[in-house]
Copies of this chain bind each other. A is one copy, B any other.
Amino acid sequence: MNLSFKPAAAHPPVPARAQACWEEGTPIYRAGEAGGAWRVTAGSVRLDTTAGTGEGGFASLAVAGDIIGTETLLFGAYAFSAAALTHCVLVPWPEGVAAPAGQALLESYAVTQRRAADVVALRGGQAADRVLGLVRLLARESAAGLQLALPRRQDIADITSLRLETVSRVLKSLERLGGLRPVRQPGVHATRSFAVDFAGLAGAAAV
């Protein structure tokens, strides 16, 4: 396992805790393993029904703020496998001692259901709309406007139930239409970091 512990993250002032980072594409945990729940602080995570990292078992998606692995509170083991879609940071959950267990659990439950509905929506309609939907889910505000860290093409394909080639065509087309602009980020593959122009995206969606 290549998880690296850091006392504190770069941008958000997170208190020093048992926080862990994963590089893009690496497994976080596997179905059946013992472990606890996590909150995704940054990045995005895919959940799979099968033990393996990829293939046909895509089940759900978690983005910054989402909580994963709550089934361990019931079973003591993970029901799904998790893998990093992008560089991501996780902290154990529940955090601290303050949160009333029931309330926090209900909140997580509600977010999970909403996210599941998002994922379902990502798998219907035209190819361009699906990819665009994922872009909207993953785009995040920053000082320099909307930043986007995309997963690999194959992961996008698994999420949207498209083929990697189709995803590539759609993204390249969005880029040509001006909705996405490649941005170089140290340590991130050149094809996965973009600045998002929502006006451009809307135009692209209309086409």
Contacts and interface: CB of A to CB of B under 8 A. Distances in A.
Interface of A: 47, 49, 56, 58-60, 70-71, 73-75, 79-80, 101-103, 105-110, 112-114, 116-117, 119-121, 123-125, 161
A75 B114 CA distance: 13
A70 B105 CA distance: 11
A58 B121 CA distance: 8
Nearest to A162: B124
The 3 closest A-B pairs by CB, nearest first: A116-B116, A59-B117, A124-B161
Contact of A120 (B101, B114, B119, B125): B119
Contacts of A56: 124-125
Nearest to A73: B106
Given A71-B109, A71-B113, A113-B79, A59 B102 contact: no
Contacts of A114: 79
B105 A60 contact: no
Q: Which of A47, A113, A121: most chain B CB closer than 10 A?
A: A113
Contacts of A73: 106
A5 B91 CA distance: 48
8 contacts: A56-B125, A59-B117, A73-B106, A74-B106, A108-B109, A109-B109, A119-B120, A124-B161
Given A101-B102, A112-B109, A112-B112, A161 B123 contact: yes
A60 B101 contact: no
Given A102-B105, A161-B124, A75 B110 contact: yes
Given A102-B101, A102-B102, A105-B102, A74 B110 contact: yes
Contacts of A59: 116-117, 120-121
Contacts of A117: 47, 49, 59-60, 80
A106 B104 CA distance: 12
A65 B58 CA distance: 24
